[in-house]
Structure 1
Amino acid sequence: MQHHAEPTGVLGCLVAVVAEAAGLGVWLHGAGPGVRGSFEGQRDWSLLYVELPLLLLALPALTVTAWGLTGAALRDRTELPTRTAASAATSALTLALLSWAGLAWLDGRVGGVLQDG
């Protein structure tokens, strides 16, 4: 039986890059008002050293973990295209849920300033 190399490394890196961009986008949207001082001119600098690293590290790590676990769970059960599609769907769902949770967290941290913008 001939073993074909799976493109999981390249696709995993692509998933990580997309998740990194999503994490940065979530942070910019959610934390922007707090960093700019939109609420009575008060700036919350902890958004820079707590939430920013958390979103930039956790979103890609958890999304790539979802990608890898899905691929590993289906490795001996399905063919490569099905595994890739399932891993992509799981990663997209994970990223969407984590992005939503990040926005909800930042909305609470910034004090609901997002409703005004």
Structure 2
Amino acid sequence: MKLPNTGGNSKLVCLITTIEIDIANCLKKGLEEKNDNIVLFQTRLLRNTVLTQGRVLRKTGIFIREGFKPLNLEVFMSIKRKMTDEVSSVWTRNGVIFFRNAQEQVTRVDFEDYQTWLDLPWPQRPAK
């Protein structure tokens, strides 16, 4: 996997060859030099291996995350933005959303809890 300005596999613990990538697309974001890349791997095992290295890659300026369906993205962002005083971090693994609260307890967000998060009000933006 060759990522722009990263040196390719040099930052990954595992070596990824082009035969292990099913589809790779670059999404252009405006006039900036930074682009998002979407990669679909041949195996879930390789995808999970790369996802588990997210913290290592983040230190090098590469941010990696799972793809979201629209409902999951809305719930993810609701958890991340609506209760910032009670939720310290939010992440996903295999399509399941987790969060860590202020007491450092990890909670799995079940589908039955989605509506609760969606019904919370969005925080007010400060006036400019």
TM-score by length of structure 1 reads: 0.24
| Higher-helix-fraction structure | 1
| Higher-strand-fraction structure | 2
**Structure showing greater Rg:** 1
Of structures 1 and 2, the one with the larger relative CO (CA 8 A, separation 6+) is: 1
TM-score by length of structure 2 reads: 0.23
